[in-house]
Amino acid sequence: MSEITLVEAVRLALARAMSEDDGVLVLGEDVGPDGGVFRATEGLLERFGAERVIDTPLSESLFAGLAVGLGAQGFRPVVEFQFMGFIYPAIDQVLNHAGRLRNRTRGRLTCPMVIRAPYGGGIHAPEHHSESTEALFAHIPGIRVVIPSSPARAYGLLLAAIRDPDPVIFLEPKRVYRAVKETVADDGQAAPLDACFLLREGHDLTLVSWGAMIKETLAAADALAESGIEAAVIDVATLKPLDMTTILRSVEASGRCVIVHEAALAGGVGAEIAARLADEGLTSLLAPVRRVAGYDTVMPLPRLEAHYLPDSERILAAARETLEFA
């Protein structure tokens, strides 16, 4: 056991899954000798060979569709998209096919596939590299959308995603790729899908977040604790389907909820959580549900991106506003 980064945890999980199951294939651009642009597939080609680590032509629609065909044939393809900004040609395949093949054939053909993509801002990347558009996918029936926020969860959730018999969109917060180190045991233990992770207990306020925003959210919770306020912190992790049970249970106790995501505010997954709180948790609410999110603007280029991304100050301000409702 050693301390590893999130991107190393991804690599570890890929290698583990490939060694356990010959059907697991890794496909994408530059996943072979180059080891992926973020080095998530480094060493896999040497270890598992060119039949299982496949550099594809530069054609995003193809490799999403390729995975549908491979999945229907019983393989478990793991497709890497270099950046989420280039994933959109694949939406056709995910929405029209991956998410519905099982249903439209009544279980005869299935898509046990994983689409991996680094996403989110904060690394001063060029244009088109920093968006967080997880809500586009969370709207699609028949798939899962999973976002890890730490090396350990990246390892466990990716193993679970690969073993899952249905399509999973696995979005990796690239800002966290190398920012945190954590001890991760390569024990082949999957983390649960369709479940939130309660990272911190607290009865005064519930902070709900995912991905790179977990770090900012935990920092805000620490600051609140200094003034005697105990905030629960929930890492949603699986955005689709959404584990509202865990969120509702926490908000029932705290009566206050602040949702944090770096994706744009309108129509974000935070809106779904807030709607569900209004629907199923209304009588628990002591204060308005607040969302701290990116603005409804085009994601700015690096010079302004820090102003776009929520930080612990913005989270704290929203938290304090909800706490005024005693």
Buried b vs exposed e over 217-231: b needs ≥16 C-beta within 10 Å?
Answer: bbebbebbeeeebeb
- Residue whose structure tokens are 């793991």: 78
Strands (E) located in 44-119: 53-55, 76-80, 114-119
Query: Please, are residues 255 and 163 in contact by the beta-carbon 8 Å criterion?
Result: no
Residue (209 or 246) nearer to other proteins, CB = 246
CB of residue 268 to other proteins, shortest distance in Å = 18
Question: Cβ 238 to other proteins, closest distance in Å?
Answer: 9
Nearest to 254 by CA among 290, 219, 292: 290
Q: Give me the least distance between CB of 30 and other proteins, in Å please.
A: 15
CB closer to other proteins, 2 vs 19 = 19
Name the CA radius of gyration of the chain, rounded: 19
210 in Cβ contact with 157 (< 8 Å): no
| Distance of alpha carbon 64 from alpha carbon 97, whole angstroms | 10
State yes or no: is 129 an active-site residue: yes
- Catalytic, out of 97, 124, 128, 129: 129
d(CA 177, CA 25): 22
Chain-centroid distance, C-alpha 104: 27
Tokens of 72: 């229907």
Report the nearest approach of other proteins to the CB of residue 16 (Å): 20
Nearer to other proteins, 74 or 307 (CB): 74
CB of 138 vs other proteins, minimal distance in Å: 12
Phi and psi at residue 153, to the nearest 5°: -70, -30
Residue 220 token pair: 């805000």
Report the interface residues with other proteins, using CB under 8 A. 25, 51, 56-57, 59, 61-75, 77, 89, 92-93, 96-97, 102-110, 141-142, 164-166, 194, 241-245, 255, 282-288, 321, 324-326
CA distances for 271 relative to 122, 315, 323, angstroms: 23, 16, 20
Nearest to 147 by CA among 268, 51, 266: 268
Strand partners, 116: 80, 170
Min. distance of Cβ 304 from other proteins in angstroms? 32
Q: What angle do CA 105, 109, 111 make, to 5 degrees?
A: 120
Indicate the residue among 19 and 73 with the shorter CB distance to other proteins: 73
Smallest distance, other proteins to C-beta of residue 241, A? 4
> Which residues have a Cβ under 8 Å from the Cβ of 75 and sit 6 or more positions away?
23, 24, 25, 112
Active site residues: 129
